Structures are given as structure tokens and as C-alpha cells.
């Protein structure tokens, strides 16, 4: 370089491959002018002598190698942005009321999660059940229905697995549970759906006889969840249209179901009441034979009572009218009514009691014992009431003269007054 104002030209002689063509143009090369004293030798590039279609330098690698490098860079970017995923052992869990539920989540690929923030929550983050962070556990003791019921298993954290155990499961524990893993800015979670089911108690059938019109058959069962499918079926398996359906829910969230049908006395063959749980697929049923109801002693006795009640009431009315005619001149009707009031109360209450007594379950093991005991009690009370009623009438006719004397004296005193 002879001075600061002299332009520098860099010689690329050692880095440019000589270009050869089939034409007569001479190849491009560097010419070295003679060096002068006090100056360095520089090689100016003869660009003007290079072909115009080759003036741009070609890359030293091929286009295929460039594609491979781009794909490699893309894979590295994906791996750094998403290092793991979360999967659950089963997306749907079905457990029975009162049993134990075990929910698990696993990192994929498996890796140590002891230094991560992991936990379980219900529906949203505000309902945190368990949180594990910096080697410490934090349980959501304030969440209702989870106190002293849950256990967080962290024995398999080195393998990237966490487990939540729920004891004594109730219907309120059903729903979606979220497990999450957080490592720095990377956050992933999995969802487990817990379904709670309960199969009800034994089915009971109650029969309410309506007399000549027919009878109502009522089917009840309690302790179901979710709501079971109810149906009445005949001996051929066909569905019998129901008269009414109803259900109620107790404090534990279990459902008590009731279904009734109205059957005519001309109906024959067995009928079956069915309850089906759609979650567990379990079914409970109970049946009853119509002919057995029609020829039961309870049915026949009730039919005889229904026929005899009008005659009994008619007989009482006739007796009271006859008694009124005999003693109307000597005794007030008010006194007569008070004397016959106990018997009238018995006659009025007994039919109501018998109607409610017939609603006892036919399928109950103690049905016969209860029916026999109540029948005996009714017979004893009826005999006592009839005995005292007859005793009153006998005493009334026996002491008729005394009654006439007493009434005449009472009437004379009233006249003098």
C-alpha cells in the first residue's frame, strides 16, 4: 500500500477455481504487476474478463444438503419447545359408591419429575386437590368432600408418574380431574373422567287394591346413581305403559325411584318391574303374579269388606232410626249420639286404616306376619266394640222404666222453673 488514498484490491487467486469453457476466451486469472520498492504486491481481480453468467460465486455445498440442514434445525426447534406430553392410564374410570378410585398420569417420554411442579385439580385451578412443588406437598383441605379422603402417591416421580387415590367415593366425586406437569415455561396436562355409579337396593312391589275397578301396582327401589331406566314388562317381555314415574334424591346424592301401573282385574300372567343402570350395565328386577293377587285371602277379605260396608252402615242407620222412634219422646237425640259416638268412630276409622294397611309390600318377608297380626287386632277390636254397643242397648232397654221416670221428673222440674 503506497498511501491511504490508494484503493486496496484483495487477491482471491488461491480461492477461485480457474474457469474453462469451450470458447476461445481466455480463462480468468490474477495478473501480478511488477512490484515497486516500498510497496507490497497486490493482485487485482480481472472481473471484466469473467463470463457474465458465472460472475456470482457458486456455494460449496449442494441444494440437497441445504434441505437436510433446514429439517434438522426445525426438529431441534420443536424438541426445545415441547419436551414432553402427559397421558393418563385410562381416560374414563367407573367406580362404585363407597369404593376406592385411583387416577394416574404419566409423562411421555418417561423422565424424572421430582424437580417439576405437579398436581391435581378439579375442573379449574381454583379447586386444587394436591400440589407438589420444591419437594413439598400442599393439599386442598378447603375443598368440600375431599378432606381425609385423598392420598397423593409420588413414589414413581422419578419415572414421571403421579397417582391420586380417593377413598370412600361418593356421587359428588364424579367429574373431570386434571393432572399437570410444569417444568420452567413448559406446561402440559392430562384429563381423567371419573364416573361414579350405584346399584340400588332390592326392588319392592306394593299392591293397592281398588276393588272391582282393578288395582295399582307400585314398584320402588332406592340407592341408584345415575338415574336408572325403569320399565314394566309382561310375561312376553313387552313394555307395559306406566301410569306415573317419580324420583327423589337424599342427602348422599342417591336416587329413590318409584313407578306405578294400573291393572284391571281381567289381567292375567306375571308382570315384572325392571331397573337398569346405564353406566354399570347391571339390572335389578322383581315380579308378581296377577292371579295370586286376585285369589289371595287379603284380596277376598277386602272385597267382602267393600261389599259389607254399605250394609253395615245401613244397618246402623236403621237401628238409630228405630231407637230414635222408641225413645224420642223421653230422651234427647244429643244424648243418644254421644252414647253411640265410640262405635261410629270405629266404623269410620276402620276402612281408612285398612286402605293404608294394604299398601304394605307384598314382597316383604314379614308381610304375612304383619297381615296376620293386624287382622287379629282388628278382629279383637271389632268384637270389643260390638260387645260394648250391644251392652249399651241392653242396659238401655232394661232400665227403660228408670229412664222414663228420670225424664218425667226432669220435665216436671223444667215446667216448674
Secondary structure (DSSP) of 310-354:
HHHHHHHHHHHHHHHHHHTTTS-HHHHHHHHHHHHHHHHHHHHHH
* Per-residue pLDDT at 377: 72
Has residue 379 got a pLDDT over 60? yes
Question: Quick check: is 70 in a domain?
Answer: no
* φ/ψ (deg, to 5) at 39: -130, 160
* Per-residue pLDDT at 360: 53
Q: Does 400 share its domain with 332? A: yes
pTM value is 0.53
Question: Quick check: is 69 in a domain?
Answer: no
Question: Quick check: is 64 in a domain?
Answer: no
Q: Does 353 share its domain with 393? A: yes
Has residue 230 got a pLDDT over 90? yes
- What integer is the mean pLDDT of 71-76? 49
* φ/ψ (deg, to 5) at 28: -80, 135
Domain boundary among 256, 272, 294: 294
- The larger pLDDT score, comparing residue 9 to residue 264, is at 264
Q: Does 412 share its domain with 301? A: yes
* Per-residue pLDDT at 89: 73
Q: Does 247 share its domain with 263? A: yes
Domain span including residue 217: 204-294
Q: How far is CA 390 from the centre of its chain?
A: 62
The number of distinct structural domains making up the chain is: 4
Q: Does 127 share its domain with 29? A: no
Question: Quick check: is 360 in a domain?
Answer: yes
Q: Tens digit of pLDDT for each residue in 155-185?
A: 899 999 999 999 999 999 999 999 999 998 8
Tell which residue, 100, 76, 104, 111, has the closest CA to residue 90. 104
Spatial contact of 164 and 129, defined as CB atoms under 8 Å apart: yes
- The larger pLDDT score, comparing residue 50 to residue 273, is at 273
Q: Does 180 share its domain with 290? A: no
Amino acid at each position: 500500500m503506497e498511501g491511504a488514498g490508494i484503493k486496496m484490491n484483495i487477491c482471491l487467486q488461491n480461492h477461485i477455481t480457474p474457469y474453462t469453457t469451450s470458447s476461445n476466451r481466455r480463462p480468468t486469472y490474477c495478473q501480478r504487476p511488477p512490484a515497486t520498492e516500498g510497496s507490497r504486491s497486490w493482485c487485482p481481480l480481472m472481473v471484466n474478463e469473467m463470463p457474465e453468467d458465472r460472475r456470482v460465486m457458486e456455494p460449496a455445498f449442494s441444494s440437497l444438503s441445504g434441505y437436510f440442514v433446514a429439517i434438522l434445525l426445525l426438529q431441534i426447534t420443536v424438541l426445545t419447545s415441547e419436551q414432553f406430553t402427559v397421558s393418563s392410564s385410562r381416560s374414563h374410570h367407573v367406580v362404585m359408591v363407597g369404593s376406592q378410585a385411583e387416577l394416574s398420569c404419566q409423562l411421555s417420554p418417561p423422565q424424572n419429575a421430582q424437580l417439576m411442579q405437579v398436581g391435581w385439580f378439579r375442573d379449574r385451578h381454583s379447586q386444587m386437590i394436591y400440589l407438589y412443588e420444591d419437594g413439598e406437598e400442599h393439599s386442598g383441605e378447603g375443598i368440600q368432600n375431599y378432606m381425609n379422603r385423598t392420598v397423593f402417591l409420588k413414589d414413581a416421580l422419578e419415572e414421571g408418574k403421579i397417582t391420586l387415590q380417593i377413598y370412600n367415593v361418593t356421587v359428588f366425586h364424579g367429574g373431570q380431574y386434571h393432572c399437570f406437569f410444569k417444568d420452567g415455561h413448559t406446561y402440559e396436562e392430562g384429563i381423567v373422567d371419573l364416573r361414579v355409579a350405584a346399584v340400588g337396593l332390592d326392588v319392592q312391589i306394593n299392591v293397592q287394591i281398588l276393588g272391582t275397578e282393578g288395582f295399582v301396582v307400585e314398584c320402588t327401589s332406592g340407592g341408584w346413581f345415575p338415574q336408572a331406566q325403569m320399565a314394566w314388562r309382561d310375561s312376553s317381555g313387552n313394555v307395559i305403559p306406566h301410569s306415573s314415574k317419580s324420583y327423589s334424591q337424599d342427602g348422599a346424592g342417591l336416587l329413590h325411584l318409584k313407578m306405578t301401573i294400573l291393572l284391571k282385574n281381567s289381567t292375567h300372567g306375571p308382570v315384572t318391574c325392571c331397573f337398569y343402570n346405564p353406566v354399570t350395565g347391571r339390572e335389578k328386577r322383581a315380579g308378581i303374579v296377577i292371579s295370586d293377587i286376585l285369589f289371595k285371602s287379603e284380596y277376598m277379605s277386602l272385597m267382602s269388606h267393600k261389599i259389607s260396608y254399605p250394609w253395615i252402615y245401613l244397618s246402623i242407620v236403621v237401628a238409630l232410626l228405630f231407637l230414635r222412634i222408641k225413645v224420642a219422646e223421653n230422651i234427647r237425640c244429643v244424648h243418644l249420639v254421644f252414647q253411640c259416638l265410640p262405635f261410629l268412630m270405629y266404623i269410620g276409622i276402620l276402612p281408612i286404616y285398612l286402605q293404608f294397611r294394604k299398601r304394605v309390600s307384598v314382597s316383604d318377608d314379614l308381610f304375612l306376619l304383619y297381615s296376620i297380626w293386624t287382622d287379629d287386632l282388628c278382629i279383637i277390636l271389632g268384637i270389643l266394640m260390638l260387645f260394648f254397643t250391644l251392652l249399651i242397648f241392653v242396659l238401655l232397654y232394661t232400665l227403660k222404666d228408670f229412664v222414663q221416670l228420670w225424664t218425667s221428673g226432669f220435665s216436671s222440674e223444667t215446667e216448674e222453673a
